[in-house]
Amino acid sequence: MPDPVLISEVGPRDGLQSIDRVMPLEAKIDWITAEAAAGVREIEVGSFVNYRAMPQMADTAALVEAACRIDGLAVAVLVPNLTGARAALKSGAHKLSLPLSASETHSQRNVNRSHAQVLEEIAQIRAAVDAVPEETRPHFEVGIATAFGCSIEGAVPEAKVVQLAEAALAAGAAEVGLSDTTGYANPAMIRARIRAVRAAVGDKLTGVHLHNTRGLGLANALAALDEGIRTLDASLGGLGGCPAAPGASGNIVTEDLAFMLDAMGFETGIDLDRLARTREILARALPGEPLYGFLADAGVPLGHGSQTQDAA
Amino acid sequence: MPDPVLISEVGPRDGLQSIDRVMPLEAKIDWITAEAAAGVREIEVGSFVNYRAMPQMADTAALVEAACRIDGLAVAVLVPNLTGARAALKSGAHKLSLPLSASETHSQRNVNRSHAQVLEEIAQIRAAVDAVPEETRPHFEVGIATAFGCSIEGAVPEAKVVQLAEAALAAGAAEVGLSDTTGYANPAMIRARIRAVRAAVGDKLTGVHLHNTRGLGLANALAALDEGIRTLDASLGGLGGCPAAPGASGNIVTEDLAFMLDAMGFETGIDLDRLARTREILARALPGEPLYGFLADAGVPLGHGSQTQDAA
């Protein structure tokens, strides 16, 4: 029986927000169109932030409009606050994701709000979402940022992460995810925190967002899969970072994650060769920008796909 | 309770054999001295191969002699055959490791021998090892190379790996390891093959040797740890490859593996900062050679070492 895993591509948001250059709208559309054609089923295309502070995201509404025309693609956006959520609702995005940072210092730097203020805004966003007719109402989730540690505050207590996950759901998020914004996680911590959050909120914890800052990204992904997580964010070429978290660097690499899942017998719906070729769009649009990952160079193993006896 | 893991550094052998330049003996001695001082307890310092075919390894006897003067360091060498084993015994190395490739094509290209010939030579090496007085007798192990697939033959049946592990032990190896020579493994395969070999030979399977060709190295290491493996090969800066296996590239990175283990609460005996600084020796001795890994740039997380509540 196939065990499906959803890879949510976050490169057009998390990747491009970490690069000063502004990628032209047409290149973004080419990118997401090519990834969707390769079988990627969900893409976070941008962020409804203040475009003066982050001009890379200024075309998010136009990009959502284009992305929503791609058949079968779930179009996600990041919203930092109620203003962003209102813009997202207007755009027609299918999914709104709001960061609630476990580190209050990071929360202040990232969205200029305390925990209490973010939780209040979650409730307001819930109300705004519920005002949308049911047939076009988007999904609203909260990602617990810096859930495994903060490069400003240092260690983040597990109990704080659990408490904020509960509070976000109580305030109106439909589900929560855990984000290793800073690349601080390790597999033991991933397992322990997923278990702790699951013990409190059950299957309302659905996904993880991992960075590869210390090379542990896919090991952490494996730990999350072992705990039953079936939605993982990743970024083509590993682009990524967080402007508000010093030292944060790239996300786990979509191509390498897709290969790992495929090799393990999970079903991602992704054509690895087509996915690897979408890197060319990035390379052309962002000349000189380092792209990470191994699969694109190494290719799949000889005989890959014929070893069903080793499937998970 | 600390759960110790042995990281066996293979860079001076696996790394340097994959680089055309010959590292001067003094630089090799500096390297292994610095790594031992950082807490690395076992180093594979070289290979007793034909030095005309592989001049990078021509000074292995002298390097063993120097390495054996480092207090508390287990000095390992690779031996391709009986001739190499005799040289290794003469050198005083503490551990001899012989590759038995599950892919017979790779075996022919790598050591110019069939499975039957290698097994016969294992028995002859056993006899030669046993002729050494017990107090100085080295450990003799066999690594099942291409145990997860071959870049010449493609898929390698699990049953073949099990059969060769049993045969190597029957012929006289004290223990066996599984080597992903080609970077073909995935975590599901790692788990399945460790279980299958363990079912046949029990705790005579002790270690794994992993490459990071497709970026899955640390995820594979995690899978092996989950199965109870407590000896892992790794290479400083990820140097590595196999001249006889097309497309094979670097080993898992010692620094990143040591960080992962440390963060998970395993005991490696390694000082991460000192280990990261040993990269400077490589960078000086091999100018321009790409060094891999993330920890050296990213550093340990703020507060690392104080999060015992998240230990494995």
Q: What is the pLDDT of residues B187-202, one digit of tens each?
A: 999 999 999 999 999 9
Option in B183, B188, B295 nearest A214 (CB): B295
Option in A222, A295, A306 nearest B219 (CB): A222
So what's the pLDDT on residue B247? 72
CA distance A136 to chain B (A): 40
A213 and B307 within 8 Å at the Cβ level: the answer is no
Give the pLDDT confidence of A156-166 residue by residue, as tens digits: 999 999 999 99
B186 and A295 within 8 Å at the Cβ level: the answer is no
CB pairs under 8 A between A and B: 150
CA distance B117 to chain A (A): 27
So what's the pLDDT on residue B308? 45
A301 and B151 within 8 Å at the Cβ level: the answer is yes
Q: Which residues of B touch A154 (CB under 8 A)?
A: 301-303, 306
So what's the pLDDT on residue B94? 98
Name the H helices within chain B: 16-17, 25-37, 60-67, 82-91, 104-111, 115-130, 158-171, 187-201, 217-226, 254-264, 272-285, 295-298
B149 and A303 within 8 Å at the Cβ level: the answer is yes
So what's the pLDDT on residue B228? 98
So what's the pLDDT on residue B245? 72
CA distance A135 to chain B (A): 40
Contact yes or no for B237/B279 (Cβ under 8 A): yes
Name the band, by pLDDT with cuts 50, 70 and 90, for residue B242.
Answer: confident
Option in A154, A222, A298 nearest B249 (CB): A298
pLDDT of B311 above 60: no
Give the pLDDT confidence of B123-167 residue by residue, as tens digits: 999 999 999 999 999 999 999 999 999 999 999 999 999 999 999
Give the pLDDT confidence of A54-69 residue by residue, as tens digits: 999 999 999 999 999 9
So what's the pLDDT on residue A189? 98
Q: Which residues of B touch A190 (CB under 8 A)?
A: none
Q: Which residues of B touch A150 (CB under 8 A)?
A: 302
Mean pLDDT taken over chain B: 94
Contact yes or no for B173/B141 (Cβ under 8 A): yes
A303 and B155 within 8 Å at the Cβ level: the answer is yes
The catalytic residue among A242, A245, A258, A295 is A242
Contact yes or no for B13/B44 (Cβ under 8 A): yes
B303 and A155 within 8 Å at the Cβ level: the answer is yes
User: Nearest-CA neighbor of A155 among B300, B249, B130?
Assistant: B300
First to last CA, chain A: 10
CA distance A219 to chain B (A): 4
Minimum Cα–Cα distance from B183: chain A residue: A301
B263 and A295 within 8 Å at the Cβ level: the answer is no
Minimum Cα–Cα distance from A310: chain B residue: B189
CATH number of A3-300: 3.20.20.70
Beta strands B175-180 and B139-145: pairing type? parallel
In whole angstroms, what is the distance from residue B174 CA to residue A83 CA?
67
Contact yes or no for A132/A89 (Cβ under 8 A): yes
Query: Residue ranges of chain A with pLDDT lower than 50?
Result: 308-312
Q: Which residues of B touch A303 (CB under 8 A)?
A: 149, 154-155
The b-or-e profile of B47-69 (16+ CB within 10 A means b, else e) is bbbeeeebebbbbbbebbbbbbe
pLDDT of B310 above 70: no
First to last CA, chain B: 10
B218 and A213 within 8 Å at the Cβ level: the answer is no
pLDDT of B309 above 60: no
Percent residues over pLDDT 90 in chain B: 91
Name the band, by pLDDT with cuts 50, 70 and 90, for residue B41.
Answer: very high
So what's the pLDDT on residue B71? 96
pLDDT of B25 above 80: yes
Residue B303 token pair: 């507060």
Name the band, by pLDDT with cuts 50, 70 and 90, for residue B312.
Answer: very low
**From A183-192, B44-53, B237-246, B258-267, the region with the lowest mean pLDDT:** B237-246
Maximum separation of any 2 CA atoms in chain B, in Å: 54
CA distance A305 to chain B (A): 10
Kindly state the average pLDDT of the residues B35-56.
Answer: 96
Query: Phi first, then psi: what are they for A149, rounded to 5°?
Result: 135, 155
Element (H, E) at A65: helix A60-67
So what's the pLDDT on residue A241? 76
Kindly state the average pLDDT of the residues B272-300.
Answer: 94
Option in B215, B295, B299 nearest A294 (CB): B215
Instruction: Catalogue the active-site residues of B.
Output: 242
- What is the ipTM metric for this complex? 0.95
So what's the pLDDT on residue A310? 46
So what's the pLDDT on residue B4? 98
A302 and B253 within 8 Å at the Cβ level: the answer is no
Cα dihedral sign, B52-B55-B61-B64? negative
Beta strands B74-78 and B95-101: pairing type? parallel
Kindly state the average pLDDT of the residues B33-43.
Answer: 98
Going by CATH, does the domain composed of B3-307 fall within 3.20.20.70? yes
* CB-based contacts of A144, cutoff 8 Å, min separation 6: A100, A101, A102, A161, A164, A165, A168, A176, A177, A178, A179
In whole angstroms, what is the distance from residue B245 CA to residue B273 CA?
34
So what's the pLDDT on residue A311? 42
DSSP code, position A11:
I
Q: Ramachandran region of residue A229, left (φ > 0), alpha (ψ -120 to 50) or beta?
A: beta
* Active-site residue flag, A150: no
